[in-house]
Structures are given as structure tokens and as C-alpha cells.
Structure 1
Amino acid sequence: MALFGKSTPRLQPELNDAGLGRICKKIQRPPAMPDARDFLVEFAEQFIEEAGIDWDRRWHRVSVMAETSMESGFDRSWLSRRPNSANALVLNAWTEGLRVRHGESAGELPSAVQRCHQAGAARPHDPLPLVALIGLLRLLRSPQRQVELVWRETVRRDPWNREAHLQMLGYFSEAEFGGPGLAREFVEVQRARMPADAPAAALELTAAVEAFHRATSKDQLNAILGDLWWRRPNAQGVLDRGVELAARPDFLQHAAAAADLNVLAYALVQAGRVPDASPVFRLLGSTVVPWPWNWQGDSVEEFTRWRARARRSAALR
């Protein structure tokens, strides 16, 4: 378990996957020599395959590698060398979607969709091509029936896939295709069926933080009203369940657990429950992810400031 003050907080997209951090450093600055690039492609392929059918771990590796590939173009380099690799197809498709979300042209999206279908056909048991496809269909504003067909097949392959649940949460939001209450209904249905230790267990918490952000927009009146948001019984229940889950040593073992713990720590401090956030920060150590800390400023600065307050509150207990 990490302890306060042992290291400086920093953004760590790889979370607890040290091997992923090492390979992303190589992807960020791919070697110029063709033979060296071939070696890096082979290394990346083997690294993803090491996760076996741990789909949660595989997606974490692919998604973080995609973030790194956006500027370096490693995804395109890999695909050009191995056009039939399901891993290369999914990585490229997801990276192209990320590029669009960061302002690039959407011209590559139809081809990215086809790559998801190609990867899915090559690996009919693998949910990752379908997870990527849901994200692309959202960008293309595809019909609800089409998205839900892909969703159903995704959860048939991997019932509690974290990213798939988060993608559908975004899809059902009022900003996209959802009407009032549709995202909340989706969360409630999933929570009623979901095991407490599922990789998607933080779906409810994520939805609550997103709702909190909508309630605390830049408008001053909304910000004042937002102070009361977490005092509602439903919101308190979400936090209570998160605190209980984080305290169980046999839970939160999925690949992105540290990202979910960041969300929990943020929600607790925003709700004024800084003492409850203290053990969560202790679990996190120095691991910071951008969202949701970046809602109010620099992610690392916000994390560091609140971790210090949590440290002081722990000392007073």
C-alpha cells in the first residue's frame, strides 16, 4: 500500500501496469530504423497477447497505447506491417476515434469502423473490437438500434466490460441520444445486476460525478446549488457504497481500479467528506488521472492539494 508523502503525484495513464508504461515510452518516440520498428511491433503484439482472455487488462493496454499513438502514429505503422492483426486493427480504430475527439477530421471513421468489423470477425470471442466500435458509432451519431445491437453482443462476450459500460453511459446522456433520466435508468438497471467487484463497478459513481458537473456549471447560481448536490440521500448512498468497496482488500483488482479510485477520492472531497477520502488517497499513492480532477484546474495540482488536506484530516483523527 502506498503511503502519503513517499512520492510526488503525477499523471500515470498506465496505472499499475509498469510494463505498459515502458512500452508507451517507446511508442511515444518510435525508432526510425525499419528493423527496430519491426521489433517494436512484435513486442507490442506479444505484450497485448500476454493478457490472454483478461479482456479488462487487454483493453487497458490497448487504450493507453492508443493515447500514446495519437501523435507518434505508431498505430498506423503497426497496421501497415500487420494488416490482419486483430490487435493492430483495434488499436488503429480506437486511435483514429481519439484523433477525431481531439479535433482532427472524421474522414477516417468509416474505415475505422470496417477495421473493427474485420477484427471482430477474426476473433469472434473477443469483445475489444466491439468496444471500440461503440465509441466510433457514437462519433458517427449512428442510430440507436445499431448501437444497442453492438452493445448486446459486447456484453455477451464480456458481461461487465468497463469501457463498454462507460461508452453506453455517454451514449445515453442528454448531450447525445438520451432523454431525461435515460442514463440514470441505464445505471440503475446495470447496478441491480452487476457483481460488486466487476470491472464496471464504478459506473454508478462515474455517472454521479458527471451529473454533479452538470449541476456545477460555470454559472454562479448553479455552483452555489451544487454545494448541496452531494447531500442528497441518493448521492450519499453512491459515496457510501464506493467507500465500502474501496475498503475491501479483495475488491478493486481490475486494470483501471486506480482510475476509479481517483473518481472516488474526487467525489468524496467535493462532497466535504475529506476524512473518508484519506484512505482512498493512501491507496492511490502518487497515481493521478486527468478526469475528474481537471474539471476545476490542473489535475496534478488539484490532486496534490486535496491529498494534503486528506493527510491533515487523517492526522487529526
Structure 2
Amino acid sequence: MSLFRRIRASSPSVRPELDDVELGRVRRQLKSPGLPGQSAIQIDQVERLLRETGTDWDRRGHRFGVLAEAAAPSSLAHNWVLRRAQSADALTFAGWVQLVRGRHAGRMEDARAAADTCYRAAEISPEDPTPWVVLLGILRLMRAESRDVVAVWHEVAERDPWNREAHLQMLRYLSPEECGSRSAQLNFVDTVRASAPPTAPTAAVELTALVDEHARTSAAGGVEALLVRRQWTHNRAVTALDTALHGWPRLGGLGHAAAAADLNVLAFALIQAGRTNEVGDTFRLIDNSVTAWPWNLLGDPLQQFTYWQARTSG
């Protein structure tokens, strides 16, 4: 059983922290209007929250990502580095905040400086995969050469073989929209499926790829978009959905920090496949922790989630 407190939501809401109670509390404080002296308090809270994870790289990655997104509009990351210039967590956080800003802007403001920050963090804490995960995201955003991306990928894999964030970064980097192709993406998925435990944090990589393909086909328009549901009748898609349905809902089947996010992907995929009579248990396991993606592919995420949750409940 996880040592980190989880919460049962009273009603559906989009919450990046998912069921991590302490993470949600700190995230909300980071999003609140700043007060004099508040930055020091926020730094202490973030520092404590990350320190609590110890070597639980999965939980650390989840908390880093959520907190960096919340802190991106502020100067908190900069202030933390000024306060603790030799802290690997402070440096990693600063790099992740720069990555978040780059994603929103569509480009890195100073990719070299952000990368250097990650390298410094990796030197201070060589066992931690998180600085390498951030660097992987930076290289992906830069559309870097594959040899550079693969080198960083191996650094992550040596420290945390089933790192969820790194696998999703590689999946998107290898997509036709970025620096790969559909075949490259499928080869990556096949490799993950053949090597990763079925309930590892990488459990939803294949379903994520299928949802990406669904979105790609729908966005292209034309006859294929009208017949996009046929994608879910292909053997690969049917097998992926059946595997998730039979393995994930078991008690303790998914124990990683972003399990609720992966269950959101499963619920969405089942609905797109027309298997609405099978999605009820998945909605119950999600416990109202809604993720923006993939529901935003249909419109407002919360509206779409609550509509399908109500329609398939029973």
C-alpha cells in the first residue's frame, strides 16, 4: 500500500494531482495570489513534498511535473535556485519550469541554459532519473537529433526502466507529427509491451498511442475521420483494450502515481471503441479524478467526463 495519502473526490473535477492529497494542497497554494514573504514558505513546502518521496522515482516525477506546471507563471523556481544553488531538486525544478514555459510558448527561451541546469542536477544527484527526464522533454521540444535523444533516454532507463513520463516523451517524439513515423511509434510500443510488466507505470503507453492515432485521424478529416471508430476493431486495439480491462481493475492492479490518469485514457478509449457497456468499473476506479487529456479531444474535459460517466453508470 502506498505511504502517500490519497483522497476520494466528492464530485468530478480536473485535478492534475489526481489522488495525491498533499500534492493537491501545495499545488493550490502555488496557484493562489502571492503575498509578501510567501515565496519562502512555498519553497519550503515544495522542498518538503519532493523530499518525502525519497527514491520513489515514479512519485517524484508526478509531483515534479504537477508543481512545475503550477509554479511556471511565478518566480518561485528562480528564487529556489538562488536560495539553494547546490540543490539537485531546486535545479531540476527550475529545468522543469523552463520546459513547461517552453511547451506553452512552443519553443524554449534558452534551451542551452535549461539543459545545463539539468546536467548540474544530474551531477549532484547521479542516481536520480528526474533531471534526465526533464532533459529528454527539452530535447523533444527542440526536435533534437535522434542520437542525442536516445542517449538521454538510456540515461533515464538505466536509473528507472519503466519511467512513465520518459516513455510518453519518447512516444510523442517518435510520432509522425514530430521526429518519427507511425511505424517508429509502433515499434517503440511493441518493445515496451514485450519488456515492461503489465502493471508498470508504462501500462498505458499503447493505449496512449492508439488515442493519439484516433485524434490524428479525426483531425485529418475526410472519409477516414468519419470511419475512425473502425480503428478500434483492429486486432492491436482490441487486444490492448482487453488487456487493460482484465488486468487494471484488479485490486492493486495499478499502483503508480498517475494510475488515475491512465484509467482516464482507458475510459476514453472504451467509449471511442463503442464499448460503453464495459466502462462502468473504470469510471468507478477513476473516482472523479478527471484529466484534461484525452477528454479535451471531445470538448470541455469535465463536461465530457461527467456526460459519459452518467450515461454509462448503472
* Fold similarity call, TM over 0.5: yes
Aligned equivalent of 2:55? 53
CA-CA distance at 1:31 after TM superposition: 4.2
% identity of equivalent residues? 41
CA-CA distance at 1:268 after TM superposition: 0.3
Aligned equivalent of 2:16? 13
Aligned equivalent of 1:310? 312
The match for 2:249 among 247, 250, 268 is: 247
Counting matched residue pairs gives 309
Separation in structure 2 between the aligned mates of residue 161 and residue 269 of structure 1, nearest angstrom: 27
Separation in structure 1 between the aligned mates of residue 158 and residue 251 of structure 2, nearest angstrom: 29
CA-CA distance at 1:180 after TM superposition: 3.9
Separation in structure 2 between the aligned mates of residue 31 and residue 233 of structure 1, nearest angstrom: 52
Mark the CA change 1:268 to 1:142 in structure 2 (over 3 Å): closer, same or farther.
same
Aligned equivalent of 1:272? 274
> Gapped runs of 5+ residues in structure 2?
1-5
> Gapped runs of 5+ residues in structure 1?
none
Separation in structure 1 between the aligned mates of residue 211 and residue 229 of structure 2, nearest angstrom: 13
What is the letter of the counterpart of residue 269 of structure 1? I
Q: RCO greater where, 1 or 2, for CA within 8 Å and sep 6 or more?
A: 1
Separation in structure 1 between the aligned mates of residue 253 and residue 141 of structure 2, nearest angstrom: 33
Deviations 1:239-266 (A, max 9, x none): 1011112221121110000000000000
What is the letter of the counterpart of residue 49 of structure 1? R
Separation in structure 2 between the aligned mates of residue 263 and residue 158 of structure 1, nearest angstrom: 23
Aligned equivalent of 1:91? 93
Superposed CA RMSD: 1.8
Using structure 2 for the length normalisation, give the TM-score: 0.94
Separation in structure 1 between the aligned mates of residue 127 and residue 308 of structure 2, nearest angstrom: 43
The match for 2:36 among 33, 37, 47 is: 33
Aligned equivalent of 2:207? 205
Separation in structure 2 between the aligned mates of residue 118 and residue 185 of structure 1, nearest angstrom: 33
CA-CA distance at 1:220 after TM superposition: 4.2
Separation in structure 2 between the aligned mates of residue 276 and residue 303 of structure 1, nearest angstrom: 16
Separation in structure 2 between the aligned mates of residue 27 and residue 75 of structure 1, nearest angstrom: 11
Separation in structure 1 between the aligned mates of residue 273 and residue 168 of structure 2, nearest angstrom: 23
Contact 1:86–1:119 (CA under 8 A) maintained in structure 2 = yes
Aligned equivalent of 1:114? 116
Separation in structure 1 between the aligned mates of residue 290 and residue 151 of structure 2, nearest angstrom: 35
Contact 1:239–1:264 (CA under 8 A) maintained in structure 2 = yes
Separation in structure 2 between the aligned mates of residue 209 and residue 267 of structure 1, nearest angstrom: 7
Contact 2:199–2:248 (CA under 8 A) maintained in structure 1 = no
Report the secondary structure of 2:293's partner residue: coil
Residue 236, structure 1, aligned to residue 238, structure 2: yes
What is the letter of the counterpart of residue 203 of structure 1? V
Deviations 1:95-136 (A, max 9, x none): 111112112762222111000000001111000000000000
What is the letter of the counterpart of residue 244 of structure 2? G
Separation in structure 2 between the aligned mates of residue 73 and residue 224 of structure 1, nearest angstrom: 46
